[in-house]
Structure 1
Amino acid sequence: MSPPAPRPARRPVVLLVGVVFRHYRGHLLSAVAEVADVWLLAERETTWEDEHLIGHTVVDTSDGAALLAAAREVAARHPVAGVLCWDELKMAHAAMVAAELGLPGEDPDVIDRCRDKHRTRRALADAGVGQPDSLLVASPEQAGVAADRIGFPVVLKPRALGASMGVVRADAPGDVPAAYAHARAAHVSIARRYHAGVLVERCVEGPEISVDSACAGGRLTPLFVARKSSGFAPYFEETGHVVDGADPLLADRGLREVLRSTHRALGFTTGMTHTELRLASDGWRVIEVNCRLGGDLIPFLGRAATGIDAAAVAAAIALGRAPDPRPVRRHTAGVRFLYPDRPLTVDKVVVHRSLLPPSVVLATATVEPGERVAPPPEGHVWGRYGLVAAAAPTPRRCQEALETAVGAVVLHSRVEAAEGAG
């Protein structure tokens, strides 16, 4: 355990659960530290995070008892007033800690209802919320029967993962065995492993969006809409997002009603959510609901486009305060994630900053020399070698800036020996 850093004034302490990935979540830590003192409960020693922390505890966050003991130790020494987490796989244990300490937060069972996609489907079906037809399966043979019953094309996905990990499309019966194997093989050590662990769902062909929302006192407030770009079919790898502060969907009554109905069905009343939807020919379909802030820099884009600081909103809710998430501007912000065209080992990634347009707000490598990167299916989020983000007054100027910025980030790979050489 590290000693606390000196503080100029007494502020409420927020326990933050989970490692902070600098490229994707560092901005959230910085924003929370602006409104509260932060003590990090994480699996490793801290480095760059220290300037934003009053202290940290190294603990196995997958061990609920150990995590709670660590939280109680911190609370005995500091005025802990809230628990915050934005890591999909640690949300349930974070909710348990908040409940045990008597602090604001969502019921752990509601968190599990969002984390377990099969439970989500059952809750939404009982409430009559629009969603894809979905069947839970435990074998390739069951997947084939389910796909025939639903009708092709179908999507197969793991029951309890996020970020499109293991999600794959099958267009015909012959595609199902490999698709099932891909979905079943996708796993993260901390995630729950189910015997029946794959969902077969109708493929909704319409455009995909996500909505980050704040829930406080049972009141749902949509903050911003992100439009997703996907690639590497038949996989659904997220290659970019765009947030427009003037997006007409923010005023779409049908979308708002679906969001309200979805949260009522799940019983979600306290915290942040990231709801993914597709617009079918006959209305909105809920793809999934994540009980956290959006990933892939979406909160960063939301702040750049609207001025709404979702991390500060999340901190306010965790502290039991009423958030005030009003937009202050209507710009457009977007991000592009950069993938190699083949598996390779990185020599270096060079960002030619002199080539970046003024509206580029972030351009960085996401890997270190010597790391291996690959496009799907071998790679996933960790298959990216860099990213660029821009913010501009109009969608067109934002897209133009992103196109230019992509060319300013150059990947150099190491020469690898031919297979079998030597």
Structure 2
Amino acid sequence: MSQSQNISSLARRLLLLAPHNSYRIAPYLQAAAELGVEVTIASAGKHSLVSAISEGLHIDFNDPDAAIALLHSVHLATPFDAVMGSDDHSVELASQVAEALGLPHNPPGAAAIARRKDKARACLQSAGVRVPAHFQLDLHHSLAGQINAVRYPCVLKPLAMSASRGVIRVDDEEGLLKAAARIETLLRDTKDEEEGRYVLVEDYIEGLEVAYEGMLDKGLLQQLALFDKPDALQGPYFEETYYITPSRHEIALQQAAHETVAAACQAYGLQQGPVHAELRMDAEGKLWVMEVAARTIGGECARLVELATGQRLETLVIAQALGQVIPQKEFSGGAGVLMIPIPKAGILRRVEGTLAAQAVEGIEELVISVREGHELVPVPDGASYLGFIYAVAEDAPQAEQALRAAHAKLTIVTAPLFGIEDRRDARS
């Protein structure tokens, strides 16, 4: 029986909560179509040009009570079989909606912990799961009396932003004050009072990272893939680059990574759905939790999971939400993705060398996500990438080598960004 027949024969309906500009929507819609699952999108995008969003249900993510009431009334008329959130901005509300609808879900409190870095750190520390030493800075008060005991180097980060946005390593007090001011600027439009007021400060842990992708079913964690990050992320900013699978770390460390993520999920109280985690290994081989989120890996990196499992990640997530099992395929080669870094801020003029990069042996595809003429904003101020390069090879080292060779052939041509100065005050 095919995947589509297995699901569609049950006439399933899925409610997907997503910000109107989420790039996770399209992959979920494609996977659902292949499975024969009907999807209704709940989003704030009333005037979106994407028909599935504009024709869906329109909610205000900042008014969860009204959103839950609306979605519950729709459910009573035409019941949903599962509720999912597409990313960090929607998973907490999705858990609240699922609870109201009586559908399988993560406890809302657990989803809230997973979304907020300060709550997650405190929860894991109490549970004995290794996290960096940390505390909060109150940006609404003088920092002078708050930073006397800071140990350098340290890392500052917002409480709830993702994709390395606002994450800055500092090595001294002067750097800390500058970083805090920079993050405060990023937080000025934040709706949540706490998230706009406080910044997390934590010890910097030297070492390499791995990324973990898994799935929870009634509290039981299944590993889908473990990715090596071969380039050390040392700061001052932490832009992701290479993800390579299968992991080349020792089996004992790979098992420890799974056990660490499982312990974190248990500490949070997570029960259902996708899990994405980032772990850092120090010089002694100890694993430190950088993040455990109740969502899938972000962006186009989900395609790397498909290479590792033989199944689209969104297919696995939807099937699991509907109580179905989609068999995975054993992967014997190596695969990787490069999230093409933005070299500097400016206006993108062109990307040279794409044909040469695509011709490198092992390169499956090169995708430039930013159009010419658009502004490039690197981390920590931005939260997107120039594009992605995918490689498949006989083993992980060859996949990594192909990605590095392809990236070396690219030249990113930018133009300066000139602001328009408001001269009205000068004339008055």
Which sections of structure 2, spanning at least 5 residues, go unmatched? 1-7, 422-428
1:236 aligns with 2:247: no
Identity %: 24
Query: Partners of 1:365 and 1:216 in 2: how far apart?
Result: 36
Q: Report the secondary structure of 1:61's partner residue.
A: coil
Counterpart in the other structure of 2:294:
291
Report if aligned partners of 2:336, 2:400 keep a CA contact under 8 Å in 1: yes
Query: Partners of 2:107 and 2:244 in 1: how far apart?
Result: 32
Counterpart in the other structure of 2:364:
361
Alpha-carbon deviations, 1:112-170, whole Å to 9, x = none? 11112221122111111111111122149876666653521111111122221111111
Query: Partners of 1:255 and 1:232 in 2: how far apart?
Result: 21
Equivalence map 1:169-184=2 (5 Å)? 169-184=169-184
Residue 189 of structure 1 and its aligned partner are, at CA, apart by: 4.8
1:305 aligns with 2:308: yes
1:396 aligns with 2:409: no
Report if aligned partners of 1:366, 1:386 keep a CA contact under 8 Å in 2: yes
Query: Partners of 2:181 and 2:137 in 1: how far apart?
Result: 12
Alpha-carbon deviations, 1:290-312, whole Å to 9, x = none? 11111133321111123243322
Q: Report the secondary structure of 2:81's partner residue.
A: strand
Q: Structure 1 residues 417 and 198, CA, compared in 2 at 3 Å: closer, same or farther?
A: closer
Query: Partners of 1:409 and 1:24 in 2: how far apart?
Result: 26
Query: Partners of 1:227 and 1:419 in 2: how far apart?
Result: 44
Residue 250 of structure 1 and its aligned partner are, at CA, apart by: 8.3
Report if aligned partners of 1:144, 1:177 keep a CA contact under 8 Å in 2: no
Query: Partners of 1:408 and 1:27 in 2: how far apart?
Result: 29
Report if aligned partners of 2:343, 2:378 keep a CA contact under 8 Å in 1: yes
**Alignment coverage as a number of residue pairs:** 409
Query: Partners of 1:416 and 1:54 in 2: how far apart?
Result: 33
Residue 75 of structure 1 and its aligned partner are, at CA, apart by: 2.7
* Greater displacement, 306-315 / 103-112: 306-315
Counterpart in the other structure of 1:125:
125
Equivalence map 1:105-116=2 (5 Å)? 105-116=105-116
Counterpart in the other structure of 1:18:
18
Counterpart in the other structure of 2:210:
209
Query: Partners of 2:417 and 2:124 in 1: how far apart?
Result: 50
Equivalence map 1:62-141=2 (5 Å)? 62-72=62-72, 74-139=74-139
Q: Report the secondary structure of 1:297's partner residue.
A: helix
Counterpart in the other structure of 1:60:
60
Report if aligned partners of 1:16, 1:38 keep a CA contact under 8 Å in 2: yes
Counterpart in the other structure of 2:156:
156
Q: Which amino acid aligns with 1:174?
A: E
TM-score, length-scaled by structure 1: 0.84
Counterpart in the other structure of 2:334:
332
Report if aligned partners of 2:24, 2:86 keep a CA contact under 8 Å in 1: no
**RMSD after superposition:** 3.4
Residue 342 of structure 1 and its aligned partner are, at CA, apart by: 3.0
Query: Partners of 1:408 and 1:20 in 2: how far apart?
Result: 35
Q: Report the secondary structure of 2:89's partner residue.
A: helix
Query: Partners of 1:263 and 1:205 in 2: how far apart?
Result: 24
TM-score, length-scaled by structure 2: 0.83
Q: Report the secondary structure of 1:236's partner residue.
A: coil
Query: Partners of 1:335 and 1:49 in 2: how far apart?
Result: 30
